[in-house]
Structure 1
């Protein structure tokens, strides 16, 4: 029987922060449950550091100048999925993976990024390690799918149905939501949060997550338009590690201290989510999951082609988000939303319906059962090997 004091290998990649955040959340949960060892590996960075750095840079550029190229990759890869051009991707990281497996002998492998090398490693070597994919978006890309993945953990029934349509047995897919930090499950006093950030509880709060790549252009002009149109709205901009943006906005914060706040990286961003009336953000899988946990209506500006566009349309279809594609329309749409309490309430309720509580617990508990079942089958068949 597979026990909690087993070893787990979590593989991830830094193409956006979502995959790494999910890996970290699952790592923390495994440690909390008493796993003997948890190895988190950015397989591509460890295998091909220069190539990985270049491709990560190109990925970030896809949010600005490279949108058409990313669209071609994301929507075009299905056409080459089983052809020669994918062979390189199948092999990437094979050597490093083999080294880790031999050295650590993990009892199971978790992918938070679609690494085909892992199931391909099983196919080519016969090394049978229970392997699981944790999908990090509200949509499905075929590159996640492989016959040697033992189970898939997905955000919604919609994603599960798509997997089933592509030939995956229903028993190999579980709807668990996307794992997020445990702080989003806590109960906090809102009045304490308003006081901490020096915000007025009697005003509506607009939160702009501006630090991420590709969220907004002309942030300063946009914030000024919010300030000038209504004194009943207070705007908070989180710049993350974007220091130039924060420095650019600080004069505005000094001029309007009661209407505008600018912050750099915020460790407990969940606190701001709890007191915001609505949020302007990019439609990354983790950010949207965090919004579902705390019932935050979201405004999504011009989603880039690929998973973020698919995420955005899913939330819009569920009346939990508004998509705005023109920068000149965003101020008007946000003001319209903030003045419509009925719509805000409806969006809060709709986005909360998309949340699956304690996702990390559900995933790890189910993986333990699945891995134990797989191991028992292998023992009975006499086929366990590393």
Structure 2
């Protein structure tokens, strides 16, 4: 829906190409007729930006509710196009990096329309029910704490894999003063990256105000493609909102911490960069579930009030606490790389709905 699933698919395809495997990335939303996929994306974006309470209701009822079915009825509409794609390409394996794709491949595999193995690469730290269609052959998860649960719920193979992030984020060294100058901050400022994902969701302005008001931290808000958020930040005197940038790895290497309100790819990138993560007032649904799962795993901190946020950031000023937090998160990358769990890396063919 946002960019995280796309970027994960792109990085996985690049890794497979490095191992001489052919790959093709397919946007699962484009498999739906009558532009229904685009309507789903627009509706979800409107909800998450303007009515997050409604998304929370949907998440509670349809994503994790006890009566939730394993497959969305919508997937039936996309089955014919996926079946034709598979017939035309004869892939050695299909990989899903989005839960709707996982339902679609699981349904098709279960009914004999997908002759090759189907793997689900879970991109979230908390795997809700819609990720776990039993028709798929195996599941890869970055969270070591839910692998056994996935096996029990699906009765399929489940393995832990390292989070899939671009290699540029692997612990690099950057000059905080140079990074501050590149974004118009004072060289002596203690920079804190604030992220609301590629859509700039959640009340990140309130978070920026807390940081700026403390006198100890300078917020740098990653606005993604949300130009309105950037405008509001400037109007509030909270500095320039940063849109898409090529130097995020360098900013992460120079920052004091990342404050996020989700639990997705930006957090995983920070883990790779050795940047401690604080998830503050996470967005409803998968954001809150992921924040709790990450906190339980000890790879991030989770706060809900202004005072708790500042206390967490102050705690990270202690080098031992900072190193303990960063090392726990970076240890996730000692697990098997995702591409190593795919048979097509050895056989040379891939089709990857996301």
TM-score, normalising length: structure 2? 0.82
Residue 23 of structure 1 pairs with residue 2 of structure 2: no
Alignment of 1:276-287 (within 5 A): 276-287=255-266
Change (3 A) 1:362 1:337: closer
Contact 2:298 2:329 in 1 (8 A): no
1:47 equivalenced with 2:32 (yes/no): yes
Q: Once the two structures are superposed, what CA deviation does each residue of 1:290-325 show, in whole Å capped at 9, x if it has no partner?
A: 122123233323223322111111223345444344
1:263 is aligned to 2:242:
yes
**CA–CA distance in 2 between the matches of 1:87 and 1:197?**
44
Shift of 1:188: 3.5
State yes or no: 1:246 paired with 2:227: no
**For the residues of structure 2 that align with 1:227 and 1:153, how far apart are their CA atoms?**
40
Q: Shift in Å at residue 154 of structure 1?
A: 0.3
Within 5 Å, give how 1:286-305 maps onto structure 2.
286-305=265-284
Any conservation in 2 of the 1:60–1:213 contact (CA below 8 Å)? no
Question: Whose RCO is larger (CA < 8 A, sep 6+)?
Answer: 2
Counterpart Cα distance in 2 of 1:87 and 1:155: 24
Q: Which residue of 2 aligns with 1:149?
A: 136
Residue 196 (structure 2) pairs with residue 206 (structure 1): no
**Pairwise CA distance, 1:280:** 2.0
For structure 2, list consecutive stretches of 5 or more residues without a partner in the other structure.
Answer: 348-354
Aligned residues: 340
Q: Deviations over 1:254-311 (max 9, x none)?
A: xx9xxx5542221231211111112222223212211221232333232233221111
| Larger Rg over CA atoms | 1
3-state SS, counterpart of residue 19 of structure 1: helix
- Secondary structure of the corresponding residue to residue 214 of structure 1: coil
How far apart are residue 189 of structure 1 and its match?
Answer: 3.5
2:221 to 237, 246, 252: 237
Of the three residues 96, 105, 117, the one matched with 1:118 is 105
Deviation at 1:200, TM superposition (A): 5.0
User: Pick from 170, 180, 187: which aligns with 1:185?
Assistant: 170
Aligned with residue 325 of structure 2, among 347, 350, 357:
350
Give the TM-score taking structure 1 as reference length: 0.76
Hey, what does 1:336 align to over in structure 2?
311
**Cα drift, residue 28 of structure 1:** 1.4
C-alpha separation between the residues in 2 aligned to 1:276 and 1:240? 18
**1:58 is matched with which residue?**
43
- State the partner residue of 1:108: 93
Give the Cα separation in 2 of the matches to 1:335 and 1:123: 50
> For 1:183-225, what per-residue CA distance to the aligned partner results, in whole angstroms no more than 9, with x for missing partners?
11253443554554455554321222256342325x2x66456
SS at match of 1:166: helix
8 Å Cα contact 2:106-2:135 kept in structure 1: yes
Report the Cα distance in structure 1 between the residues aligned to 2:17 and 2:271, rounded to whole angstroms. 26
Contact 2:97 2:120 in 1 (8 A): yes
Q: Answer whether contact 1:89 1:117 (CA < 8 A) is retained.
A: no
1:183–1:270: 8 Å Cα contact kept in structure 2? yes
Instruction: Give the aligned partner of residue 306 of structure 1.
Output: 285
Whether the 8 Å contact between 1:185 and 1:358 is mirrored in structure 2 is: no
1 CA distance for matches of 2:183 and 2:283?
32
User: What's 2:52 paired with?
Assistant: 67
Q: Any idea what the Cα deviations from partners look like across 1:114-146, whole Å, max 9, x if unmatched?
A: 232213223323542021100011112122223
Q: How far, CA to CA, are the matches of 1:129 and 1:19 in structure 2?
A: 22
Q: Distance in 2 between matches of 1:123 and 1:164?
A: 17
Change (3 A) 1:121 1:227: closer
Stretches of structure 1 that go unaligned for 5 or more consecutive residues are 1-14, 373-386
Q: What SS does the corresponding residue of 2:31 show, helix, strand or coil?
A: helix
Match of 2:153 among 130, 147, 166: 166
Question: Which digits, 9 at most, give the CA deviation of each residue in 1:208-262, with x for residues without a partner?
Answer: 2256342325x2x6645644542x5333222222223323334666xx9xxx554
Aligned with 2:333: secondary structure? Answer: coil
